[in-house]
């Protein structure tokens, strides 16, 4: 199979979908790997390192997409890439389609077989290809939030760890999944007073023991969210419903009553965000202000640390990419029910139910596609 890796062109997206280790694995399995020139430079991986492992370096993005049977990416295709989508192509990347109607309709129109990293799901419920980037985004959230709290950045001028005789910053984390746990861990390490909310009591119990009760845990409800948000210096939203839009947990009315200069970091923005006023921002222009509060809603947060992110992502995606290349998407999905749940569109139809529901589109069940 010809596997193509184009350069990411989303704003300040420096990750690349493969490492030299991944190239070597695919080449050893008999596949032809073509990579756009300079695709790895943002992750500190020069072309010659890819070439040394057997990849062919190509100048043109159009040629990479045109030659490939399967395209590996990091982020969803942006509008400038839509003309490269075509029937017969397998696309394996983050898609987050429930928050992107134009891309969803374009994938349907072009009959692309699109497999989304974020909806591959193990029987345990774990999302193995979302996990590493949730780790990274969760770790980044308190860091970027702490910067936004600086007075010069428009924040309250609060130091995360405080000093002797002065209260620590109060950080509220919504969602105790992978991103939420990592956000709580880093915020705690920075000295903040951290509260974690979730509807899953088992996750809250794990948090109790993990941090020896140094992170407060509260069962999430409309009332408890409201109470905690109004007290917070920083709110980090990490709530995820696989494949679907994130629920709006923090309303405009709540934000209007928050402390002036408070900060809201929406890690769930890829799925539409969990704050009512959230809208996607970029690394070039990451924040905006609503009711004297600062929102940070960068849709590709892990792109800020691309070297770490690229290696972590490839560690997770490579076994699945090799399987897809070895057997083709159809057999690979039949043999692996977890990977099959990643199929979002095929042959002009939406296969992922939550995506179809988000836009009122027809939905073809996965079982029929693989029958």
User: Which residues form the catalytic set?
Assistant: 96, 270
**Measured on CA atoms in the order 16, 18, 20, 21, is the torsion positive or negative?**
positive
The token pair at 206 is: 């794990």
> Where in the chain does DSSP place strands (E)?
2-5, 32-36, 56-58, 70-72, 90-93, 113-116, 170-174, 193-198, 216-219, 234-237, 263-266, 287-290, 293-296, 343-346, 349-350
Phi-psi region of 157 (alpha: psi -120 to 50; beta: other; left: phi over 0): left
Q: How far is CA 169 from the centre of its chain?
A: 26
Neighbours of 151 (CB within 10 A): 10
Q: How far is it, in rounded angstroms, from Cα 129 to Cα 309?
A: 12
């Amino acid at each position: 199979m010809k596997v193509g890796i184009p350069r990411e062109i989303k704003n300040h997206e420096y990750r690349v979908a493969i490492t030299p280790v991944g190239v070597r694995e695919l080449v050893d399995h008999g596949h032809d790997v073509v990579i756009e020139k300079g695709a790895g430079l943002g992750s500190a991986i020069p072309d010659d390192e890819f070439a040394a492992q057997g990849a062919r370096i190509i100048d043109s993005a159009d040629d990479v997409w045109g030659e490939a049977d399967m395209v590996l990416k990091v982020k969803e295709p942006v509008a400038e890439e839509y003309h490269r989508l075509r029937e017969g192509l397998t696309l394996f990347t983050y898609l987050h389609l429930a928050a992107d109607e134009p891309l969803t309709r374009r994938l349907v129109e072009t009959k692309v077989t699109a497999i989304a990293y974020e909806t591959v799901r193990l029987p345990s419920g774990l999302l193995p290809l979302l996990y590493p980037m949730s780790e990274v985004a969760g770790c980044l959230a308190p860091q970027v939030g702490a910067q936004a709290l600086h007075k010069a950045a428009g924040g309250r001028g609060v130091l995360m760890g405080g000093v002797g005789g002065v209260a620590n910053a109060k950080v509220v984390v919504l969602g105790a999944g992978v991103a939420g746990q990592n956000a709580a861990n880093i915020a705690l390490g920075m000295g903040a007073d951290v509260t974690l909310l979730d509807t899953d009591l088992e996750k809250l119990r794990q948090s109790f023991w993990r941090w020896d009760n140094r992170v407060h845990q509260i069962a999430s409800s409309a009332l408890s969210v409201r109470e905690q948000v109004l007290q917070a210096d920083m709110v980090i939203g990490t709530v995820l419903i696989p494949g679907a839009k994130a629920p709006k947990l923090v309303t405009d009315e709540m934000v209007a009553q928050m402390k002036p200069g408070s900060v809201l970091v929406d890690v769930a923005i890829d799925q539409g965000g969990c704050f009512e006023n959230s809208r996607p921002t970029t690394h070039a222009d990451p924040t905006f202000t609503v009711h004297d509060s600062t929102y940070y809603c960068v849709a590709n947060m892990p792109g800020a640390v691309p070297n770490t992110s690229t290696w972590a992502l490839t560690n997770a995606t490579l076994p699945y990419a090799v399987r897809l290349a070895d057997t083709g998407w159809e057999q690979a999905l039949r043999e692996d029910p977890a990977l099959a749940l990643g199929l979002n569109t095929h042959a002009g139809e939406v296969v992922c139910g939550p995506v179809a529901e988000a836009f009122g589109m027809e939905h073809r069940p996965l079982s029929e596609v693989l029958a």
